[in-house]
Amino acid sequence: MSFNFLESLNENQRKAVLHTSGPLLILAGAGTGKTRVLTTRLANILKKKLANPFETLTVTFTNKAASEMKHRVEDMLKIGTDGWWIGTFHAMGARILRKHQEIVGLKSQFSIIDVDDQIRLIKQALSYHNVDEKRWPARLFHNVIQRWKDKGLNPEDISNDEIFGSVAGKKIYRTYQNRLTTLNVVDYGDLLLQNLNIFKNNSEILSIYQKKFKYILVDEYQDTNVCQHQWLNLLAANFKNICAVGDDDQSIYSWRGAEVKNILKFEDAFKATKVIKLEENYRSTNNILEAANGLVKKNKARLGKNLWTKKERGEKIHVINISSSEEEARTVSDIIENLFSKGCKLSSMAILVRATYQTRFFEDRFIKIGLPYKIIGGTKFYERLEIKDAMAYLRLVVSDYDDLAFERIINVPKRGLGTKSLLDIQTNARKNNITLLESCRILSENNYFNVKTSINIKYFLKKLESWKKEKASLPASEIVELVLEESGYVEMWQNDKSVESEGRLENLKELVSAVTEFENLNSFLEHIQLVMDNSVNDTKDTVNLLTLHAAKGLEFDNIFLPGWEEEIFPNKKSIDEKHNEGLEEERRLAYVGITRAKKRVWILHANSRYIHGNWLFSSPSRFIGELPEENISLSNLFFNNEGKNNMSAQIDTAITHTNLKKLEDTLLIGDRVFHQKFGYGTIKNVEGDNAEVLFSKTNLKKVKTEFLIKNV
């Protein structure tokens, strides 16, 4: 059989495939065909009989990537891949561990437990050491242990300075590990950590695998953690034929334990490494690539490469300045509808956001105009657990008869109600033909519940009555804030400390922002019900909404990048916590976003946003200023239709209150103004130091001119 598939490769791809002696680092930029190179390299090794299939190890990060590689190799060589060492790090680690489990105290048929079971065991360990779980939640310590395992650290490796509630972290870690062994189970981190323990303490076993794997191929090396890097280093020590494919410019998962230093220092770890750069891009146009290149070159921690393509120059990246989140969603939907009318499929368009709460305005807009959409790698805003919980609270504030809402939240957060108590509430309600809420109230008054539960239930019922009374006098947004705070729901997520909790809290704040657009709670709840009814759509052609992190590895003809403002993107928390390393990872994330596009990119930034209940005045993201001028097209929708299209000064200068000025005697009917509480509006009448303003978020209001600022 001829090896014809080499002919379809470009020069550098072919070099990467044919280099078969010694360590190799393939720096593969976005859209440069890395998967094809990796699978063709494996096929070439096998075709030339440099190794048999069981003497090669190919590791990936996802089952999907592993499956794709198997299928491609099968197509090339026309043979099956059953039993080959191709799979994820976890799968390959588990395979080795099951052959030698007794060395680390495990028995045959050990189980791999999920996160919920891991947290249960950590709770037991915390209790054993008398650690206050309210101060040190199990979920928080779970993350700590997993990060230790990502770094290849056993309990004895942890510093005595790591203290949690006066107890050394290593003791809690050791108790947790002992419990895992007793139950004959492992967590995901153990699958490679226990491999390291076996290899480091048993040179004979390590030697077996070092002699077995003549060739090692690794995908997405920039995403490896310390433990994975050490594991590969040990396995490759004999033949040294390790091939790592990766892109340091796409290292965006440090929060999951990934270490960009692993790829940056690859040549130090594996001496005499040959480096081959894949820079010819088959996805994007020249303008897109040149803009992305110009941006990521601002990073200092990178190996350096320059993407190029034989494709046309294409459209410049469109950078659009708008006034608010609402206008951002409206602008994007208008562009999408225009593209759709010209024959572009909705599925060819994607909106990439930095944080999940940013999807809300787009979802509201798309539902309003009937534009089908889907959330990739996540859940629609109004279907998220925390939003549905919050909505259940609000429904109960509005109506005592909403039994479904009662059932959802009566024990969220936990109030001590067990299954039997809930069943008794339901039985009493059916027997007396009353609501669950009334049934609960009656049982509480008759001291049915135990003392602790009774205190919690009576507090909840008392607060519910106060929320109902406050509903008549307070703005809807303030009622929502009261309910979420006084119910203990916000505190529950603040104490959760899981990876998801921060996003859930952001979504709850965004819900409060959403309520400000409505006069009362009833109208908001009615709107949400209509939203949920209208969101059911079976069409396959939908606009894609996803985070920048979820977009890695995907591609679309048209990409929209909203929210490019300081503090939103780059993310303020990332910079505050990790300083320049955090900034560079944010810049890599921007690079990933831009390079998802095949044809067109729109970047949008707003002068102000109503975020989490407050108006935020922002400057354009520094990343906009770092894009090469020759590759971008600037337009400004913030000003009235006078063609003020040059925004260069705004990119270099922070948009603060200096862009706005207090109204004095210059107030005119028709002027566009801003009020700290009511937002944007239009002047309808002026009488002395009072003005009537039609606000977009509320309605016509009379306000003092001294509290208005005017767009200039």
Measured over all CA atoms, what is the biggest interatomic distance in the chain, rounded to whole angstroms?
91
**Class of residue 381 by CB neighbours under 10 A (exposed 0-12, middle 13-18, buried 19+):** buried
At 127, list the tokens. 């209790």
At 318, list the tokens. 């469109």
Say which residue the tokens 């490796």 belong to.
157
Q: Are 324 and 610 in contact (CB under 8 A)?
A: yes
At 218, list the tokens. 């690794």
Number of Cβ within a 10 Å radius of residue 482: 17
Q: Which of 138, 123, 137, 174 is nearest to 153 (CA)?
A: 174
Non-local (6+) Cβ contacts of 413 within 8 A are 487, 488, 489, 491, 492
> Is 618 in a helix, a strand, or coil?
coil
Give the angle 174-176-179 at the CA atoms, nearest 5°: 110
Non-local (6+) Cβ contacts of 76 within 8 A are 5, 39, 40, 43
User: How are the residues of the chain apportioned to helix, strand and coil, as percentages rounded to the nearest 5?
Assistant: 50, 15, 35
The Cα-based distances of 6 to 44, 290, 432, 664 in angstroms read 9, 29, 79, 74
Distance of alpha carbon 9 from alpha carbon 42, whole angstroms:
14
Distance of alpha carbon 603 from alpha carbon 605, whole angstroms:
7
Sign of the CA dihedral running 355, 357, 361, 367:
positive
Strand arrangement of the beta sheet that strand 679-687 belongs to: 660-662, 708-711, 672-675, 679-687, 690-695, 700-704
Q: Which of 145, 87, 76 is nearest to 115 (CA)?
A: 145
Distance of alpha carbon 664 from alpha carbon 689, whole angstroms:
9
Sign of the CA dihedral running 490, 491, 496, 502:
positive
Distance of alpha carbon 251 from alpha carbon 592, whole angstroms:
9
Residues linked to residue 133 through DSSP beta bridges, in sequence order: none
> Is 67 in a helix, a strand, or coil?
helix
Distance of alpha carbon 565 from alpha carbon 549, whole angstroms:
18
Pairing of strands 185-186, 111-112: parallel
Say which residue the tokens 């105009």 belong to.
369
H or E stretch at 227: helix 226-235
Say which residue the tokens 């400004």 belong to.
636
Number of Cβ within a 10 Å radius of residue 298: 15
φ, ψ dihedrals at 353, nearest 5°? -110, 155
Which active-site residues does the annotation give?
Answer: 34-35, 219-220, 250, 596
Distance of alpha carbon 399 from alpha carbon 525, whole angstroms:
11
Q: Are 515 and 397 in contact (CB under 8 A)?
A: no
DSSP character string of 4-66 = GGGGGS-HHHHHHHH--SS-EEEEE-TTS-HHHHHHHHHHHHHHTTSS-GGGEEEEESSHHHH
Please tell me what DSSP assigns to residue 275: E
Q: Are 563 and 358 in contact (CB under 8 A)?
A: yes
Q: Which of 46, 35, 45 is nearest to 69 (CA)?
A: 35
Residue type, 587: R
Say which residue the tokens 């489990």 belong to.
101
Distance of alpha carbon 579 from alpha carbon 226, whole angstroms:
21
